Amino acid sequence: MQYTKIPGTDMQASRICLGTMTFGSPVAGPDAVRLVRYALEEHGVNFIDTANMYEGYNRYAGSAGGVAEEIVGEAVAHRRGDYILATKVGMKVGEAPEDENTSPEAIRIQLRRSLVRMRTDYVDVYYLHRYDPDTEPHAVARAMGEELRAGTIRAWGVSNYTAAQLAALLAAAADEGVPAPALCQPALSMLNTGALEELLPLCEKEGVGVVPYQLLQGGMLTGKYRRGQEAPAGSRLAEKPEWMKPFTDETYDVIERCAAEAAAEGVTMTQHALRWALAQPGVVSALVGVKREEQIDEAAGAVR
pTM here is: 0.93
Residue (of 280, 278, 282, 286) closest to 204 by Cα position: 282
> What pLDDT sits at residue 160?
97
Rg (CA), the chain: 18
> What pLDDT sits at residue 257?
93
Give me the amino acid identity at 110: Q
- Taking CA atoms, 186 is separated from 23, 179, 183, 203, in Å, by 21, 20, 10, 11
> What pLDDT sits at residue 220?
87
> What pLDDT sits at residue 266?
95
DSSP character string of 27-42: B-HHHHHHHHHHHHHH
Q: Judge whether 302 and 262 are in contact, CB under 8 Å.
A: no
Q: Is 289 helix (H, G, I), strand (E, B) or coil?
A: strand
What phi and psi values does residue 256 have, to the nearest 5 degrees?
A: -70, -35
Give the bridge partners for 14, in sequence order.
3
What DSSP state is assigned to residue 94? S
Contacts of residue 91, Cβ cutoff 8 Å, sequence gap at least 6: 51, 52, 53, 65, 100, 129, 130
Angle ∠(12,13,14) on CA atoms, nearest 5: 125
What phi and psi values does residue 196 have, to the nearest 5 degrees?
A: -75, -20
Give the bridge partners for 85, in sequence order.
48
Q: Is 165 helix (H, G, I), strand (E, B) or coil?
A: helix
Give the pLDDT means over successive 10-residue stretches in the chain (304 positions). Answer: 97 98 96 98 98 94 94 97 98 95 98 98 98 98 98 98 98 98 97 96 98 92 82 75 80 92 95 97 96 96 92
Its sign, for the CA torsion 209, 146, 49, 301, is: positive
Distance CA 270, CA 278 (A): 12
> What pLDDT sits at residue 33?
98
> What pLDDT sits at residue 97?
94
- The full set of domains in the chain, from first to last, is 3-218+269-301 (3.20.20.100)
